[in-house]
Every structure is written in C-alpha cells, then in structure tokens.
Amino acid sequence: MTVDTNLLKSSLLASVVIALCLSNASYAQLTTFQLQQWLNSPAASSHVGNIAGNAKAGALPYRRFCVGCHGELGDGNGENAVWFTTPMYAQPRNFQLAIFKCRSTPTGTLPTDQDLFDTITRGMDRSNMPQWNTFTKEERANLVAWIKHYSPRWQTEKAGTPIQIPPKPEITPERVKAGQAVFARMQCYKCHGVQGMANGPSASTLTDDLNQPIAAFNFTDGSRPKCGSTDTDIYRIFMTGLDGTPMPSFVDNIKPEEAWDLVFYLRSLQPHNAYNAKEKEIAHQLGLKPVDPNAPPAQ
Amino acid sequence: MKQQRSRALAAISAILVLVGLGALVIGQKANAAGEGKISGTVKLDGTAPHMRGIDMSKDPFCDKAHANNPAHSENVVVGNGNGLGNVVLYISEGLSANDLNAKSTQVPVFDQKNCMYTPHVLAMDVGQDFKVETSDATAHNIHPEPNPLTGNIPWNQSQPPGAPPVTKSWKTPEMIHVKCNIHPWMSGWFAVVKGPFATTDENGSYTIQNVPPGSYTVTAWQETYGTQTAKVTVAAGAAATADFTFKAK
C-alpha cells in the first residue's frame, strides 16, 4: 500500500516536472524532437543565388561564432550582450522576433535569405557585428538557414516581395537638384539635419524598439550606412526603412525615379569616397545650399 | 369545375402569402433579437493625475498649432463627473463563434492632427481595415509597436505632408502602442479586440451596439489603469448596464 502511494507520488512529481519543463520552453525554443523534425524538413534550408544553405550545417558555427552575442536561444541575450551599453552599439539582434533592419522587402515583412546573407557578409558598421566574409558563401548560407529556426514567424509567414529598383539613370545636375527637393519635401532633415550631419531637431530623442537611444545616420563623417554603401543599398534603405529603428519606409511617398534623384543628392552630402565623385562635383558647380526648413513647400 | 380550381388556387396563394408573412415576421423578430446593447459610464475614483504639458518648440508647425491651446499628455482624460475618456469596452467572454465572425465594414480613421493623434485610442475589430491619415504640414512617421510573436507585425511608415492614407489591419487582439519618432510626445493606441466594442466619450459614457441576447463578461481597458471586468446579461432587444470605476493611483 505504502509502496503504491510512493509510486503514485513520484509519478505525479515526475509529470509535474515534465509539465514545468515543457511550459518553460519559450515559444521559440523547440523541443529536441521538434528541432529534429524541423531539421529534416525542407524548411531547414536557405537559398542564396544558386547556393543552398543547410540548417544542420549551420548549428555548429552558430554555437562557435554567434552564440556569444545572439545567445543560445537566439534572443540576442548572449553573455556579451550586457556589455552593449553605449547607445551607439545596438543590442544584438533578437532572432525570435525576426525584426530586421536590412531588408529588400517592405516594412513589416520578413527579409529574404539573400538579405540575411548580405548582412552576415557585410557586418554592421558602428556596431559589434563584424564582417563574416571569412566564411565561405556556403557557410554563410548555412547560418541563414539555422537562425530561421529561432522564430515561429518563419513557419507561418513568407518573406516579403522585394521592392522593384529601376536601373540607375545618368547623374545630371537636374537630378541632384530634384533630389534635394525630395529631401526637403520628405523632411529628412528632421532627424538627419539640413546638411546630413545627424543633428536635426528630432535627432536627440530618437529611440529604437527596445527604447534604447539611437543616432540618425551622419552622412558627413565618413561612416558607412549599416545596410550597405552602394547606390542600390542607399535606394533600398530609405524605401524599405530599417525595421526596429526610427527610420520609416518611404516607398509609398517617393516615386522610383525620384528615389534615384534622392540617392544622388545624399551622395553629395558624403565626403569624397569611392562612389560619389560626380555627385560632389555637380553639387559644387551648382553651389547647392542646405535646404531651408522654413521655406514654403515647393509644390 | 373551373370555380373549384380557382378556389383551390386562391387557397394555395393565401397559404403562400401567410407563410411568407410569417417568415417575414419571424425574420424581423430574429433581427430585433440582435439589437440588444450594453451601455454605462466609466469613472475615476480619486484625483485625476496631472497631465503634463507638451513642449513642441522643436517643431515650429506643431508649436504654432498649439499657440493658443497648449497640448497636454492624454494618458488619463477626465471629464464631467469624473468620467474617464478613451476607455475601450469589449465583450471578452460569452460571444458565439458566429457573432465573433461578423465583421464591420466600417473603416475607422486615425488622424495625425496638430502633432497629436485623433482619436488618442482607436478601437477596432480583428481583421478590420483602418486608415492612418495626416492633416499636418509637418512630416510624421507612424510606428505601431505590437509584439511580433502575437501575429501582429510592427511596421514603420513615413507620412510627409500630403501623404496618402495608409490602410492596414491587425491579425490578433492586442493593445498596440503607436508612436512617432519625429515627435516623441506623440503617443496613441490601436485597441484591437474581437467582437462588438465601444470607446468612452470625454465624460466616460459608452454604448456597445448590436449585442445579441446572452450573458457576457465586459472588459474595460484604460491605458494607464489596466483592465476591469463585469458580468452582464443582455435580454432580447433590451439595453443592459455595466458601470466601471478605476481607482486613481
């Protein structure tokens, strides 16, 4: 009789412990069984150009190179994350939420595998995320496949449709001037300042989605944009916006051809670099003055 | 013979008309049964907290718009008789799946006006389209902050002066905070609920329309004070009452 009660008690205890373990598992933390199931499914892959990434092959490099910041659960809470205290250094990305800055897709949608691959390759300027171009392309594609298992969103949502980028037109003085008009009309200066020095009236109060202070991009100090330095990257940055930050999407308010004009004007704000010789020269010849926020809007 | 036939025809048509009328009457009755409502007032018990004034001097447009009418924070809006405004009331228990599936085709509007959100709290049904507009000659960005793991995904869109409205909807019930990064004082809510709902006016009165008869739990949500619930029974075609009182902190 006593043996029976003991058995009952211990089995009850065991079931409680099991239940607790299960409920403790966060939404994104798959059980070993679920993870195995997922790893054997077609979803556990990535497609970057003609390279197919495999999640299983990404698990080990993630543990070795990424876990320190992004954490075992992919929640951006690795052991190093507590040291990311300077406002300049954003917290490590939380893969469970799957909110990403650098996307070719509309705001509020998941990025493409290529977008994630490019971020790993490029690293994030002015952050603790280094360039991982020491990995082969296959290794980077494997990591893309692996990090996707951290968020349930990859199981229920598809990546957004990348925005269309028309071919870059020729840079002309008219276009640089028109770009400045777009800059004025969209009121980019509110955060980025009239000269692109990140000193607009709203710059000092900007916060990211974790309510951490965040700086607007300074075009004039030689920094590289976080989501890439090429003309196409800049086009994409303001059209899709950087989700998780104050930078909104402008795709509904800037027409594709106007967007190229804006790219040319933004280039002229940057110090001389490998990309902007022509824009700088045109702006110089035009004698472009910074926009005047108090000027009546040109309609 | 001929007479008989016509008499039979008359009888049949009379029956048909009667049946038709009966169906109409029953149908009307079924409709009338759906016309119950829940109304009441929401009050604040205690002194209303001080709503700090907003310094808009960083944006000349906003500052000018409030030159004669300084703006105040709107976390707690108290009107006549200590009535609480901007409280969302919805039926949290008791609605049938059918009632929950009935979707409103109205498209509520959330306006950015004089650098404040109008209304401060916009209630809506799950899956119901709503519009974000701007009346301002200054740029805004509209940036809701839902928890992406609920199924509501955050987004962030610019709305420069003259921008077209943004039409969106939400997938699951959630009280979603909305902000503008350009104007850090701008703070509003999308109250996404399932089924019929109402928002209190500035004096704390509300009416939830189109409530089918039944027993329900009504929840009142206020952004600073949280939620309260009350049990209500709605009779066919009648109005039920549910009053709430939130304690000032």
pLDDT, tens only, B16-32: 444 444 444 443 334 44
Q: From the list A156, A185, A209, which residue is nearest B160 (CB)?
A: A185
What angle in degrees, to the nearest 10, is found between the helix axes of A256-269 and A277-286?
80
Judged by CB atoms closer than 8 Å, whether chains meet at B181 and A206 is answered as yes
ipTM of the complex: 0.87
Total Cβ atoms within 10 A of residue B150 = 14
**Predicted local distance difference test score (pLDDT) of residue B143:** 98
What are the per-10-residue average pLDDT scores of chain A (299 residues)?
A: 54 49 50 88 92 96 96 94 76 95 98 98 93 96 96 93 97 98 98 97 94 94 95 98 98 97 98 94 95 73
Taking CB atoms and an 8 Å cutoff, what residues of chain A touch B164? 252-253
B62 touches chain A (CB under 8 A): no
Q: Which CATH class is domain A32-156?
A: mainly alpha
How far is A243 from chain B, CA to nearest CA, in Å? 7
Distance CA A84, CA A210 (A): 13
B58 touches chain A (CB under 8 A): yes
Judged by CB atoms closer than 8 Å, whether chains meet at A201 and B58 is answered as yes
Judged by CB atoms closer than 8 Å, whether chains meet at B184 and A190 is answered as no
Distance CA B156, CA B142 (A): 6
B143 touches chain A (CB under 8 A): yes
Q: Where are the domains of chain A?
A: 32-156, 173-286
- Enter the tokens of residue A258: 């106007």
Backbone angles phi, psi at A136, to 5 degrees: -70, 165
Total Cβ atoms within 10 A of residue B78 = 19
Task: Assign B209 a pLDDT band (cuts: 50, 70, 90).
Answer: very high
B149 touches chain A (CB under 8 A): yes
Find residues 136-175 of chain A whose CB sits inside 8 Å of chain B: 151-153, 156-157
Distance CA B32, CA B212 (A): 9
- Enter the tokens of residue B184: 């850090």
DSSP state of B222: E
Find residues 228-267 of chain A whose CB sits inside 8 Å of chain B: 241, 243-250, 252-253
**Pick among B182, B183, B187 to test the A interface (most A CBs inside 10 A):** B182
Taking CB atoms and an 8 Å cutoff, what residues of chain A touch B158? 186, 241, 248-250, 252-253
Fold of A173-286: Cytochrome Bc1 Complex; Chain D, domain 2 (1.10.760)
Identify the burial level of B7 via C-beta atoms within 10 angstroms of its C-beta, where 0-12 means exposed, 13-18 middle and 19 or more buried.
exposed
How far is A7 from chain B, CA to nearest CA, in Å? 40
Distance CA B144, CA A240 (A): 16
Q: Which has the closest alpha carbon to B114: B53, B145, B70, B176?
A: B70
Q: From the list B139, B143, B148, which residue is nearest A187 (CB)?
A: B139
Distance CA A161, CA A252 (A): 15
Taking CB atoms and an 8 Å cutoff, what residues of chain B touch A106? 155
Lowest-confidence segment of A89-93, B11-15, B127-131 by average pLDDT:
B11-15
How far is B170 from chain A, CA to nearest CA, in Å? 12
Question: How far are the Cα atoms of A37, A184, A287, B236 from residue A297, in angstroms, in the given order?
Answer: 58, 8, 21, 58
How far is A130 from chain B, CA to nearest CA, in Å? 27
- CATH topology agreement for domains A32-156 and A173-286: yes
- Enter the tokens of residue B244: 């709430």
**Predicted local distance difference test score (pLDDT) of residue B105:** 87
Identify the burial level of A221 via C-beta atoms within 10 angstroms of its C-beta, where 0-12 means exposed, 13-18 middle and 19 or more buried.
exposed
Taking CB atoms and an 8 Å cutoff, what residues of chain B touch A243? 154-156
**Predicted local distance difference test score (pLDDT) of residue A90:** 82
What sign does the dihedral A245-A250-A256-A257 (CA atoms) show? negative
Question: In this structure, are residues A48 and A139 in contact, taking their beta carbons and an 8 Å threshold?
Answer: no
Judged by CB atoms closer than 8 Å, whether chains meet at B151 and A156 is answered as yes
B155 touches chain A (CB under 8 A): yes
Q: From the list A191, A207, A241, which residue is nearest B156 (CB)?
A: A241
Judged by CB atoms closer than 8 Å, whether chains meet at B181 and A153 is answered as no
Interface A-B, measured as beta-carbon pairs within 8 A, has a size of 93
pTM of the model: 0.86
Taking CB atoms and an 8 Å cutoff, what residues of chain A touch B160? 185-187, 253
**Predicted local distance difference test score (pLDDT) of residue A298:** 52
Q: Which has the closest alpha carbon to B203: B63, B87, B29, B37?
A: B87
Q: DSSP 3-state assignment of A37?
A: helix
Judged by CB atoms closer than 8 Å, whether chains meet at A253 and B154 is answered as no
